[in-house]
Chain A
C-alpha cells in the first residue's frame, strides 16, 4: 500500500468529515477509523479511483457510528474556524452549519460530496452504494432544505420539494 497516495487524501477526508459531523474531534475520530479500516482492507482495493474508495469506506464507518450512536446524526456547530472571521461571515457560517445539521445524514453526505468534493453523481452513487436517481433526489431535497433554512423559511421534516 502506498501511504503517500492515501495520505494525499487525508485533508479532503478531514474537510468532508468536519462538514458531515460538525465537531472537530468527532470528525477526526471518523477520519482515523476510516484510515484504519482502509489499512485493514487495502488488499481489497483494485487500482482505480482511490478517492472514491476512501470515501466509500468513510461512508460505511459513518453509518456504523450512527448505528452505534457514537455520532449524533445532527451536527453541532464548531466555532473554531468561524471565530476569527468577520461578523457577517460568522453569521453565515453558523447559519450554514445549523442548516447542515438539520439535514438528514443521507442528504448531508450527498450534498457535501457533490459540493465540497466536486464528485460526479456517478461517483457519489458508487461511494454511497445507492442509485444515481437516489443521489439526485437526496441532493435536491437537501439543497432545498438548506436554502429554506438559510432564508429563514420554515423547515419541517418530510417537506415536499416543489420544483
Chain B
C-alpha cells in the first residue's frame, strides 16, 4: 500500500474506518518515514489544542452573551442596552414595547419599568459564572451594611432557604433614581434568583404583587413605600410566587 499524503492525514484525523485503517497501520509499521510524518501531524494537532483550548475556559465577554429577553432580532440593541444598563445610561422607559409585560403596565408605565430593569439585571448577572456578585455571602453583614448605606435605608435580606435557595451575595447597580441593590440566591441545582431593590420613582404608584414575564425571566414585583422590589428567576411561577411572598413578609415584618 502506498502511503500518500491524503491517507496519512486521514489516518491522523480519524477519518478512516475498519479495514482501511488497519491497512494504513500495517503499512506504517513498515515505513519509518511515513510513521515520522504521522507523528509530526499528530504533534501539530496537540500543539494547536494546547495553545487555543484555554480560550474555551475564558469567561465569555458581556458583548457576546445571548441571554437577553428581547433576543430574537434584537441582539445588537440588547447588547447596547446591557452596556447602557451597566453604566447607568438607559432610562427604564426605553424598555417599554420591547416584549415587556402586558396588562398593568399600560396604566402604570413607571411601575412597568421596574420588572424590566430587574429582569435585565438578572440576565446580565445571574448568567455570570465567575463574578455573579460583588460581595459574596461569606461577608453578609458587610454586604448588607454597605448596600444599606448606599441606598440610604436599612435593608433586610429575605431568607429563602425553605425553597432551597441560599444567599450567594449581592452587588450595587446604577438605577434611574440612584443606587440599586441586587441580592442573588442560588439553589443546589445552580438555579439563581435575584432580588432587585430600587428607589421608587416619583410617578410610580404603590402596587400589590404583580407578575411580569420578561423573555425567559419571570418576575414578581411590588412597590411599597419608598421602594420597589422585584424577585426574578427563570423558574416556575408558583415557586417564584411562594418565595416572593416569603421575601415580602421578611421585608415587612408585622
Contact = CB atoms under 8 A, between A and B. Distances in A.
A3 B215 CA distance: 11
Interface string A134-163: 001001100110110010000000000101
A144 B40 CA distance: 10
A1 interface: yes
Interface in B22-60: 40-41, 44-45, 47-58, 60
Contact of B75 (A11, A14, A35, A97): A35
Contacts of A96: 47-48, 51
A1 B48 contact: no
A161 B79 CA distance: 46
Nearest to A81: B54
Interface stretch (A45-53, A63-71, A112-120): A112-120
Contact of B66 (A3, A93, A136): A3
Given A39-B71, A39-B75, A140 B52 contact: no
B44 A147 contact: yes
A116 B60 contact: no
A84 to B, nearest CB: 9
Interface string A11-22: 110110011000
A11 B66 CA distance: 12
Chain B interface category by residue count: 35 or more
Contacts of B4: 163
Contacts of B249: none
Contacts of B71: 1, 3, 39
B1 interface: no
Interface in B69-93: 71-73, 75-76, 79
20 contacts: A1-B71, A7-B65, A7-B67, A10-B60, A10-B64, A11-B55, A14-B55, A14-B58, A28-B63, A28-B64, A40-B73, A93-B47, A96-B51, A115-B45, A116-B48, A136-B6, A136-B10, A140-B6, A143-B9, A147-B41
Interface of B: 4-6, 9-10, 13, 15, 40-41, 44-45, 47-58, 60-61, 63-68, 71-73, 75-76, 79
